[in-house]
Amino acid sequence: MANISVSLPSDGETVDVADYNTPINTIVNEINGGLDNSNITAAAAIAGSKLADTSVTVSKIDYSTIPIPYGGGTFINGTTKTFTPTQSGILYVVAQARRNSGSGGDLAINLSATGVTGAISGGGVGNGTVDGHTSATYMAIVAANVSVTITISATGGSVANPGYNFMVIPGAPTAV
């Protein structure tokens, strides 16, 4: 229903109870379950917890207000990074390196983490050529306020230009 419109008696009229009950019942019925979008002003600032899950469109979400924790740096074999995410989401880690020339064997990078669930194991193996590059990725679900430790290891020769980056993408992941 849209805006409420009722008629009330005027001064000097003889009235029945229905002259008051009918407009009051109209108002009560509208308030008790009949309010809809047409009754709400854009300035109402209704809390998100009061809205149906599917009622907010992507265009209404201000992603600039959602913090995305991130970090990274260089690594040596066995490097660990420990942090505590402030919100639940998906941990995404990527590492890359180059095998030094004259170093034998394929370069392999392995990533793992503790304090996570639903891990998708990551690892990469270089092609064994001189100056071959290799990279690895890792994803897992993290919970808010649960400590996470990322471990990066490399095998197969001497490593040059090693680096890694990680971020936590907030939200509740759903497999598709």
Would you say residue 25 lies in a domain? yes
- Residue 58 has phi, psi (to 5 degrees) of -55, -35
The reported pLDDT for the residue numbered 69 is 81
For the full predicted model, state whether its pTM sits above 0.75: no
The reported pLDDT for the residue numbered 96 is 87
Beta strands of 27-173 (E only): which ranges?
Answer: 70-73, 79-83, 89-99, 108-114, 117-120, 122-125, 133-142, 148-155, 159-170
Mean pLDDT for 139-155 is 90
Q: Domain with 115 in it: what CATH number? A: 2.60.120.40
- Tell me: do 73 and 48 sit in the same domain: no
Whether 66 shows a pLDDT value over 80: the answer reads: no
Q: What is the pLDDT of residues 27-41, one digit of tens each?
A: 888 888 878 877 888
Would you say residue 97 lies in a domain? yes
Instruction: Tell me the torsion sign for CA atoms 41, 42, 43, 46.
Output: positive
Would you say residue 81 lies in a domain? yes
Would you say residue 94 lies in a domain? yes
Beta bridge partners of residue 124, listed in sequence order = 109
Q: Is residue 105 a contact partner of residue 176, using CB atoms and an 8 Å limit?
A: no
Number of domains in the chain: 2
Helices (H), 110-176: none
Whether 9 shows a pLDDT value over 60: the answer reads: yes
Would you say residue 103 lies in a domain? yes
The reported pLDDT for the residue numbered 61 is 78
Q: What is the pLDDT of residues 69-122, one digit of tens each?
A: 888 988 888 889 999 998 889 999 998 887 776 666 677 788 889 999 888 766
> What is the rounded distance in angstroms from the CA atom of residue 51 to the CA atom of residue 151?
41
The reported pLDDT for the residue numbered 118 is 85
Report percent pLDDT > 90 for the chain.
Answer: 16
- Tell me: do 130 and 72 sit in the same domain: yes
- Tell me: do 72 and 54 sit in the same domain: no
Domain housing 121: 67-170
Whether 160 shows a pLDDT value over 80: the answer reads: no
The reported pLDDT for the residue numbered 82 is 94
The reported pLDDT for the residue numbered 124 is 60
- Tell me: do 136 and 158 sit in the same domain: yes
